[in-house]
């Protein structure tokens, strides 16, 4: 519904947005302390009201839309822009903490040097790759992104497999009847999951009563008939919990939990 | 469901009214009971242990951001973490809070300052202990694991949204012998926490945590409201089971994604496109 | 014996797992014939059905790459097979990522790898919408009504309206199939805000890491998703169905042995518990 602007019109819009933002930020700074909380509560209420009204208001059967529906995409974009600004807060926190580590020669300060070097390295090469694309800049970015970040990400995820082994060795013990049931069902699911395990009962028929004893069918039964209903029950409670917490937040009934003691 | 069907409108607004009604009733003086939750009772024990050992604590409010689905979880987790920080301030403990989402830094800072003030030690709050690590999932996990091992933390509190890094963090905590309390609505990560932590909050216990810890009427009222909602949903589930067994698809049509006209509520349910076989 | 097993240095356990994974890769053998699980079969059948459906086959297929390099072993193999399947039937498709910027690159790398084999051309047969930052729920909800407005430009900076394959694609009713490959719980956004937002529910397929699969089974049972690939195992089964064995098939023996090592260690842990209880019992009786 909003068309992209180009040329002088674009610059006019940018200048206008900067002016409005400046006025808004200054006005917010001038708001007296006692009015800040009601103001936050009002903004929270209005922001939530958009999505609630858009969801609940009746729609035109042909367009399946109400008068708010077309604003969904622009509001999603506003949200993206707002969140992007928060990146600066993170960068500021990293810079202050690690610069202090280096200046005060705290234990492990060398790691802080490495962190800042990697952060600026990927930032600069990323910008160069985007705005001055040439093979050298692309290779430099690839060194950080493919050689560093992607490989380290994959290595960290693979560590989960090792931790599963030590956690399973320690935790899966038949200490009680419930723990034994859990142990047996987990073992059957694992066997039914892989081809070597499936091979153990491959001799049983694929149909008829005996097929129920094939390990992959036992796995299927445990997952879909035992685990799924339990999971759904937990999810139902979680959904209602989320709804109740959302209502408290939306109506600012939540404030007692943090920021101040009394509601 | 893109827009509310007529039934969803009635049903959800009904739930909304029940929850708000219970909150208002609680605020007007009605006292509600909440059962004992062992994982939350363990918080004071873990904080006390940390004080005895003279080692810091680590508290994370998860990897979730402020988006539609995770925002509520993250803010609830932050509320629990600030209650933990309040207990820590009372015992004179240091709490390290690593953050993944930069947008949460100012919110977390204010919440923790307030928590230390509530705990009677506002001067004990150290801004350096609230740190942004990385918004990359595994870089965050590596950072937290490093902190756990370097600082030899005595107790760890993990609340909020967690993904595959849950076990990495919890196993490192287990390795240094820390008392660990975790609570997450991420159901796939609960088994990992159970394997590696001492106490785990399961399901909606996570949302009951702040009510349990603070006993504030508003929060207790909301818990009662959501329990009434649970009973209503249970009724519809049982009704649905019975009616579907009798080949009457009323409940299935009532809860369908797209509106079914009231006059056609008993018509058979159409299969999903692409389904079959 | 019991005490030794109880106090075992966990690095021995890690070494055992490493060997169980590495040795079958170094010395490949023919793995046991895999049973195709029903969710994988229905995943395959759904793509076949969409390709054979005159109402759907000319619509755009969404190949959502909500994963990063960390889970590429599972997700990238699933994603590649799904793209191969779509290309075999000459369906038009769009690559998009909402969860991680790496998804955009990994999706494009997969398309670059397969495009020449199937004669696919960028812009004419497929498009890469890139990575859309921000709140996934809001983006998916907005996408259902207004694809060009939500996405804006493709990865090359071309407005979607100027790309041939995007002609006539406005919203959910112009999408024939959604295949989401994910490492996190993003499926519910598609279920809540996209699948049923149009005239008819859009078929939805989910391929995920093995740890996420448990959470998706309820939606499979309820018919809200039409099929699922469960981790690397699902990817291997899908390769078998496509008769195009790749990495997932090749590492199937490693996966099997890793599971067996875990089962062996669980048995060992229980033996240690049994022995320590017996020792405690005999001390108590003395």
Q: What is the tens place of the pLDDT at every residue in A127-146?
A: 998 888 889 998 998 898 88
Mean pLDDT estimate for chain A:
86
Nearest CA in chain C to A158: C70
Q: Record the tokens describing residue C139, joined without a space.
A: 């983006």
The verdict on B16 touching A (C-beta cutoff 8 Å) is yes
Residue B149 confidence (pLDDT) above 90: yes
DSSP letter for A60, please: B
Q: For residue C221, give the chain B residue with the closest CA.
A: B275
Most B CBs within 10 Å, among A257, A260, A261, to test the B interface? A257
CA quadruple C193, C198, C200, C205: dihedral, nearest 10: -40
Interface test with C, best of B273, B276, B277 (most C CBs within 10 A): B273
pLDDT band, very low/low/confident/very high, at B242 (cuts 50, 70, 90): very high
Buried (b) or exposed (e) across C70-108, using 16+ Cβ within 10 A?
Answer: bbbbbbbbbbbbbbbbbbbeebbbbbbbbbbebbbbbbb
Give the three-class secondary structure for A212: helix
Q: What is the model's pLDDT at position B241?
A: 93
B neighbours by CB contacts (3+ pairs under 8 Å): A, C
CB contacts, 8 Å: A164 with chain B: 167, 192
> Residue B73 and residue A231: Cβ atoms within 8 Å?
no
CB-based contacts of A100-104 (< 8 A; 24+ apart in sequence):
A100/B128
In angstroms, the CA A246 to CA A243 distance is 5
Contacts of C189 in chain B (CB under 8 A): 69
Q: How confident is the model at residue A258 (pLDDT cuts 50, 70, 90)?
A: very low
The CB density around residue B143, as the number of other CB atoms within 10 Å, is 19
Q: Per the CB < 8 Å rule, is C49 touching B69?
A: no
3-state secondary structure of A34: helix
**Which whole-number Å values give the CA distances from B31 to A224, A257, B16, in the listed order?**
41, 18, 21
Hey, what's the torsion of the CAs at B102, B103, B107, B110, to 10 degrees? 50
Among chain B residues, the shortest Cα distance to C211 is held by B188
C56-93 pLDDT per residue, tens: 999 999 999 999 888 988 999 999 999 999 999 999 99
Best to test chain A binding among C69, C151, C155, C209 (most A CBs inside 10 Å): C69
Task: Find the CB nearest C266 among A1, A169, A175.
Answer: A169
pLDDT, average across residues B258-273: 73
Could you tell me the maximum CA-CA distance found in chain A, to the nearest angstrom? 79
Above 80 in pLDDT, residue B275? no
pLDDT, mean of residues B24-31: 87
Question: Would an 8 Å CB–CB cutoff place B215 in contact with chain A?
Answer: no
Beta partners for B157?
A: B59, B181
Q: What is the pLDDT of residue C285?
A: 47
**Which pLDDT score is estimated for C284?**
57
Cα–Cα distance measured from residue B196 to residue B145, given in angstroms and rounded to the nearest whole number: 14
| Cβ contact C192–B1 (<8 Å) | yes
Is residue B276 scored above 80 in pLDDT?
no
Q: In angstroms, how far is CA B200 from the centroid of its own chain? A: 12
Range(s) of chain B covered by CATH 3.40.50: 38-214
Q: How far is CA A200 from CA A110, A210, A213, C33, C267, in A?
A: 54, 14, 11, 12, 18
Q: Which residue among B13, B111, B185 sits closest to A259, beta carbon to beta carbon?
A: B111
- The residue of chain C nearest to residue B162, with distances taken between CA atoms, is C184
In this prediction the pTM is 0.87
% of chain A residues with pLDDT over 70: 95
The whole-number pLDDT of residue B55 equals 94
Q: Which pair of structure tokens corresponds to residue B233?
A: 């949903």
Across B32-39, average pLDDT: 85
What is the architecture of the domain spanning B38-214? Answer: 3-Layer(aba) Sandwich (3.40)
* Interface predicted TM-score of the whole assembly (ipTM), two decimals: 0.86
B267 pLDDT band, cuts 50/70/90, is: confident
Nearest to B68 among C45, C137, C223 (CB): C137
* CB < 8 Å to B12, chain C: none
Confidence of residue A254 (pLDDT cuts 50, 70, 90): low
Q: What is the pLDDT of residues A150-180, one digit of tens each?
A: 888 889 999 999 999 998 888 888 888 988 9
Predicted confidence band at A77 (pLDDT cuts at 50, 70, 90)?
A: confident
Parallel, antiparallel, or unpaired: how do β-strands C60-66 and C93-97 relate? parallel
Q: Under 8 Å CB-to-CB from C271, ≥6 apart: which residues? A: C2, C5
The phi-psi region of residue A252 (left if phi > 0; otherwise alpha if psi is between -120 and 50; otherwise beta) is left
Between chain A and chain C, the number of residue pairs with CB atoms below 8 A apart is 154
Q: For residue A260, is pLDDT > 50?
A: no
pLDDT along chain C (286 residues), means of 10: 72 92 85 77 97 94 94 93 97 94 91 95 95 86 89 90 93 95 90 87 94 88 92 93 91 90 90 84 60
What 3-state DSSP class applies to B31?
coil
Query: Could you tell me which chains touch chain A, where touching means 3 or more CB pairs under 8 A?
Result: B, C
């Amino acid at each position: 519904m909003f068309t992209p602007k180009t040329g002088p019109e674009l610059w006019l819009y940018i200048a206008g947005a900067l002016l409005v933002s400046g006025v808004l930020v200054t006005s917010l700074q001038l708001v007296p302390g006692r009015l800040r909380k009601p103001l936050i509560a009002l903004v929270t209420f209005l922001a939530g009201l958009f999505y609630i009204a858009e969801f609940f208001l009746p729609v035109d059967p042909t367009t399946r839309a109400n008068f708010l529906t077309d604003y969904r995409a622009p509001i999603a974009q506003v949200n993206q822009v707002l969140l992007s600004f928060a990146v600066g807060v993170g960068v500021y926190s990293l810079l202050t903490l690690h610069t202090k580590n280096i200046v005060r020669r705290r234990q492990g300060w060398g790691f802080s040097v490495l962190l800042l070097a990697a952060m600026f390295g990927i930032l600069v090469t990323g910008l160069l790759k985007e705005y001055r694309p040439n093979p050298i800049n692309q290779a430099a970015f690839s060194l950080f992104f493919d050689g560093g970040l992607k490989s380290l990400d994959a290595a960290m995820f693979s560590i989960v497999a090792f931790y599963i082994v030590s956690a399973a060795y320690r935790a899966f013990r038949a200490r009680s009847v419930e723990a034994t049931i859990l142990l047996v069902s987990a073992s059957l699911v694992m066997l039914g999951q892989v081809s070597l395990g499936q091979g153990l009962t491959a001799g049983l028929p694929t149909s008829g009563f005996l097929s129920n004893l094939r390990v992959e069918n036992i796995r299927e039964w445990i997952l879909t008939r035992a685990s799924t209903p339990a999971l759904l029950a937990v999810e139902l409670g979680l959904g209602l919990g989320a709804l109740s917490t959302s209502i408290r937040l939306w109506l600012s009934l939540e404030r007692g939990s943090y920021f101040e003691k009394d509601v | 469901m893109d827009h509310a069907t007529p039934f969803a409108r009635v049903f959800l607004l009904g739930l909304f009214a029940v929850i708000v009604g219970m909150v208002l009733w609680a605020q007007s003086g009605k006292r509600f009971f909440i059962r004992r939750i062992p994982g939350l009772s363990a918080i004071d024990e873990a904080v006390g242990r940390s004080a005895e050992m003279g080692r810091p604590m680590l508290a994370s409010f998860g990897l979730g951001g402020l988006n539609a689905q995770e925002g509520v979880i993250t803010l609830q987790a932050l509320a629990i973490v600030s209650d933990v920080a309040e207990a820590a301030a009372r015992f004179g403990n240091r709490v390290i809070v690593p953050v993944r989402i930069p947008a949460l830094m100012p919110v977390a800072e204010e919440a923790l300052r307030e928590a230390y003030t509530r705990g009677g030690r506002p001067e004990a709050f150290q801004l350096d202990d609230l740190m942004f690590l990385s918004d990359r999932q595994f870089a965050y996990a590596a950072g937290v694991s490093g902190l756990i091992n370097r600082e030899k933390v005595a107790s760890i509190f993990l609340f909020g949204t967690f993904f595959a890094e849950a076990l990495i963090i919890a196993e490192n905590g287990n390795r240094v012998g820390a008392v660990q309390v975790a609570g997450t609505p991420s159901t796939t990560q609960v088994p990992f926490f159970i394997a590696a932590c001492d106490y785990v909050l399961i399901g909606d216990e996570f949302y009951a945590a702040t009510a349990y810890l603070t006993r504030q009427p508003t929060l207790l009222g909301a818990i009662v409201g959501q329990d009434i909602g649970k009973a209503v949903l249970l009724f519809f589930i049982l009704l649905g089971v019975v009616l579907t067994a009798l080949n009457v698809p009323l409940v299935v049509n009532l809860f369908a994604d797209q509106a079914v006209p009231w006059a056609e509520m008993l018509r058979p349910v159409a299969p999903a496109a692409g389904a079959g076989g | 014996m019991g005490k030794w097993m109880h106090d075992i240095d966990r690095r021995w356990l890690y070494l055992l797992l490493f060997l169980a994974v590495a040795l079958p890769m170094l010395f490949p053998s023919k793995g046991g014939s895999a049973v195709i699980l029903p969710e994988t079969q229905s995943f395959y059948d759904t793509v076949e059905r969409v390709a054979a459906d005159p109402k759907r086959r000319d619509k755009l297929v969404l190949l959502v790459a909500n994963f990063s390099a960390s889970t590429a072993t599972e997700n990238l193999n699933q994603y590649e097979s799904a793209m191969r399947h779509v290309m075999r039937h000459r369906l038009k498709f769009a690559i998009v990522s909402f969860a991680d910027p790496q998804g955009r690159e990994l999706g494009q790398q997969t398309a670059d790898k397969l495009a020449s084999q199937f004669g696919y051309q960028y812009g004419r047969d497929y498009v890469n919408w890139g990575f859309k930052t921000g709140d996934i729920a809001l983006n998916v909800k907005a996408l259902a009504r207004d694809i060009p407005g939500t996405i804006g430009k493709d990865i090359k900076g071309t407005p979607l309206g100027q790309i041939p394959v995007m002609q006539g694609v406005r919203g959910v009713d112009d999408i024939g199939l959604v295949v989401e490959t994910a490492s996190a719980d993003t499926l519910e956004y598609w279920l809540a805000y996209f699948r049923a937002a149009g005239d008819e529910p859009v078929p939805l397929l989910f391929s995920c890491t093995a740890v996420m699969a448990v959470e998706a089974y309820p939606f499979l049972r309820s018919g809200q998703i039409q099929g699922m690939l469960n981790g690397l195992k699902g990817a291997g089964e899908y390769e078998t169905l496509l008769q195009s064995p790749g990495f997932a098939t090749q590492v199937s023996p490693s996966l099997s042995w890793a599971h067996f090592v875990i089962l062996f260690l669980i048995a060992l842990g229980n033996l240690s518990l049994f022995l320590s209880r017996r020792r405690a019992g005999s001390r108590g009786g003395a």
